[in-house]
Amino acid sequence: MPASLRRLAIYVVLLLFAGFYLVPLVVVMLNSVRGTQDILRTSVIGWPRPFDWGNFAHTWSSYCISEHCNGIQPYFWNSVEMTIPATILSTLLGALNGYSLALWRFRGDNWVFGIITLGVFLPEQMKLVPWVIVLRDLGLFNTVAGLILIHTVQGLSFTTLFCRNYYVSIPPDLLRAARIDGAGFFRIFWRIVLPLSPPILIVTVIWQFTGIWNEYLYGVTFSAGDHQPITAALIALSAHISEAPDYGAQNAAVLLAALPTLLVYLFGGRYFVRGLTAGAVK
């Protein structure tokens, strides 16, 4: 095959796949500004005729989800209230864990690290009922605080893994010198380790934010009504689709629900890939 034809074939295949990946996003974006009648008359794939900009306001503040007619707004804010603290807490504690595991070796540290890593693989179903008991005993059932607790503790497995694997590559001589100078645990963390950390902390924050924002199972199990995060609200909303199809508003809801993590990906895509490789390869 001539070289130019080969190049052409490469681009054709790449463009076809690009189309496959783009279709769902484009469809949701277009439908979010289409009227439900328009969608029902044609299909979910089509150009808005006419543009219906009212979907967003409707879906945000007055759409009815399981008898609450406040739109997706409360659920969206629940997700924000849950994701931001849980991301910050799990990242900070994970950095601390990674630091003590990687640089303050103690007897059995490999065992501790091994057990924490197992947490990454443990299926959610093994932890569901124990969490029910913990949340009930703490009185955190059906609260955002309960979900923050869950995501912080479970996030520790990932964040510790990321940070520990990053910190082991800090040259020991650097720490030895600091220790000879009389620096202690916190001074070394604050003055040496933390300034070296931004690359891994960005990866960890992005990873945690995306994971927690997108999580569904815990949200739906441990909260009800308008205490639920946005993922659970989306499912509740689709469940009503057969009774009262309102595709325009639903597409707007899906777009709004996906927007935060899409934005994170758009601005931090580089770190995203690095996180995937760091988490998987090490």
Residue of 61, 110, 142, 238 that binds other proteins (CB under 8 A): 238
Cα–Cα distance for residue pair 268/50, rounded to 1 Å: 35
Tell me how far, at minimum, the Cβ of 24 lies from other proteins, in Å. Answer: 4
Cα 138 to chain centroid, rounded: 25
42 contributes a contact to other proteins by CB under 8 A? yes
- Please give the residues from 59 up to 98 whose contact with other proteins meets the rule CB under 8 A: 93-94, 96-97
Token pair 């299926």 in the structure block, residue: 123
Closer CB to other proteins, 27 or 174, in the complex: 27
Token pair 């090490």 in the structure block, residue: 282
Residue of 157, 165, 204, 208 that binds other proteins (CB under 8 A): 157
Cα–Cα distance for residue pair 229/79, rounded to 1 Å: 5
Closer CB to other proteins, 36 or 74, in the complex: 36
224 contributes a contact to other proteins by CB under 8 A? no
3-class DSSP state of 153: helix
**Binding map of other proteins across residues 159-188, x = CB under 8 A, - = no contact:** -x---------------------x-xxx--
Torsion of CA 66, 69, 72, 75, to 10 degrees: -70
Residues in the chain: 282
Provide φ and ψ at 65, rounded to 5°: -120, 120
User: Are 205 and 54 contacting, i.e. CB atoms less than 8 angstroms apart?
Assistant: no
Closer CB to other proteins, 69 or 280, in the complex: 280
234 contributes a contact to other proteins by CB under 8 A? yes
- Please give the residues from 98 up to 137 whose contact with other proteins meets the rule CB under 8 A: 100-101, 104, 112, 115-116, 118-119, 121-131, 133
Closer CB to other proteins, 46 or 48, in the complex: 46
